[in-house]
Amino acid sequence: MNTDGHRCVENGRSCGIHPTAYQFEALSIGVHLRSSAVLFFLCLVSLLAVAAEEIPLRTAEGFAVPQRGARFAFPRDHGSHPEFALEWWYVTGHLFETNGARYGFQATFFRRAGPRTSATKSPATPTFGDQELYLAHMALLDVQTGRFHHQERLNREGWDAGSSTETLSVSNGNWSLRLAQPPASHSSPLPAPSNRPPDLILLRGSIRAEASFKLQLVPQKPLVVFGADSVSRKAAEPTAASHYLTFTRLRVTGTLILDGKTRPVTGQAWMDHEFSSSQLGKGQVGWDWACLQLNDGREIMAYRMRRAEGSTDLFSTLAWVDQRGEVHHSTPAEFRWEPEGEWKSPATGGKYPARIRLTTHDPDSGQNVTFRIEPLAADQELTGALGGIPYWEGACRVLDDRGKVIGQAFLELTGYAGGLQGRL
């Protein structure tokens, strides 16, 4: 230890000189390499354990658990899966007017199964079921003004909310997401036949009397299945997993009504469809998620399962989707998710990361790359007035390490205004 209180290491021994910036950098790199090696080893051990474990068919509550090797048939698997406890259809995207005005939008439809025990059932009627609850969120960011409009709805299944088990058709009031042009049945993960007409998805939403939109979405790439062998694991517990189906790039056309004015819009969207019976494991309090659509035609999906002490769970993942729609998965040892700054919600008091710095290995170039995910507005929090779970979900730009905009993104941050343990 020198007089400034600094210590350096030389050939494994302490020395009394003040280390140079180069030595600090070397030490930092060495520590990072060692920690990455340890993390890689732990990930490998976890993956081997997962491969060897037996996955139960049902949870203790009687709901289905995602199984390896699942084959999906469409349009049926775009629809509802009532044997699972949780399901959501998630559309996020970026819209543009011809004059350059920009908007971010979110439309989410949730299905939550009720308890399977007959003692807790409420009386069913022809117009109100007793097995499903439907929650839905709509949000719109006006980038020009910074105004963030959002609304939630919560309904029992019945005349005002529901979902088909045969195709994509889910609704909550006059909000809806439907497959308007059902193709002939086909299976995944093989690409659709080239002679099959493209899917046409219709989205209709509104936010009170403030805004409404009618959008047509056409996939520009084949649907992808995230996860190993059709299962996207979220935790060490085998029940904490989902089937995760995604259109990573959809062309959007339609109309947006805002401030009483009808505005033709075009843009791009991302659509997730997940079904599971549990999303969190022991010690996890929430997750950070992002979808990036890069200007070079590739996409990235990443989620960081966050533990109570703030560390990254070993069951986090990052996936690249190339121009052809092929998926390359990465372990937590192969990417770094670094929050930058902080934004405190005036509505809930939740403290969220202000930006995200994401570093990973580019499978095309073979080099490490860094992306900065920067929100287009700070306040894009959905306050959970009905569902009880506040979270931040917002439109972002993607910058490279030189500050050049190279894409667009959506970012989701959960568990910062109260942990989610026991709720998902």
Task: Compare 349 and 421 and report the one with higher pLDDT.
Answer: 349
Tell me whether strands 317-321 and 327-330 are parallel, antiparallel or unpaired. Answer: antiparallel
Predicted confidence (pLDDT) at residue 370 exceeds the cutoff of 70: yes
Residue 53 has a pLDDT of 72
pLDDT digit string, tens, across residues 200-241? 999 999 999 999 999 999 999 999 999 999 999 999 999 999
Taking alpha carbons only, the member of 124, 201, 213, 205 closest to residue 171 is 205
Least confident segment among 52-66, 69-83, 112-126, 399-413:
112-126
Least confident segment among 67-81, 176-190, 254-268, 328-342:
176-190
Which strand (E) or helix (H) includes residue 122? Answer: none
Task: Compare 17 and 331 and report the one with higher pLDDT.
Answer: 331
Residue 115 has a pLDDT of 80
pLDDT digit string, tens, across residues 283-342? 999 999 999 999 999 999 999 999 999 899 999 999 999 999 999 999 889 999 999 999
Three-state secondary-structure class, residue 97: coil
Please provide the size of the chain in residues. Answer: 424
Alpha-carbon distance 288 to 284, whole Å?
Answer: 12
Q: Could you tell me if 284 and 313 are in contact, meaning their C-beta atoms sit under 8 angstroms apart?
A: yes
User: In sequence order, what E strands does 159-228 have?
Assistant: 161-163, 169-172, 175-179, 186-188, 201-207, 211-219, 224-226
Q: Could you tell me if 158 and 127 are in contact, meaning their C-beta atoms sit under 8 angstroms apart?
A: yes
Task: Estimate to the nearest angstrom the gap between the alpha carbon of 255 and the chain centroid.
Answer: 25
97-121 in b/e burial notation, b at 16+ Cβ within 10 A? eeeebbbbbbbbbbbebbeeeeeee
pTM of the full predicted structure? 0.85
Three-state secondary-structure class, residue 305: strand
Alpha-carbon distance 365 to 402, whole Å?
Answer: 17
Predicted confidence (pLDDT) at residue 38 exceeds the cutoff of 80: no
pLDDT digit string, tens, across residues 100-139? 999 999 999 999 998 866 544 555 555 666 689 999 999 9
Tell me whether strands 8-10 and 175-179 are parallel, antiparallel or unpaired. Answer: unpaired
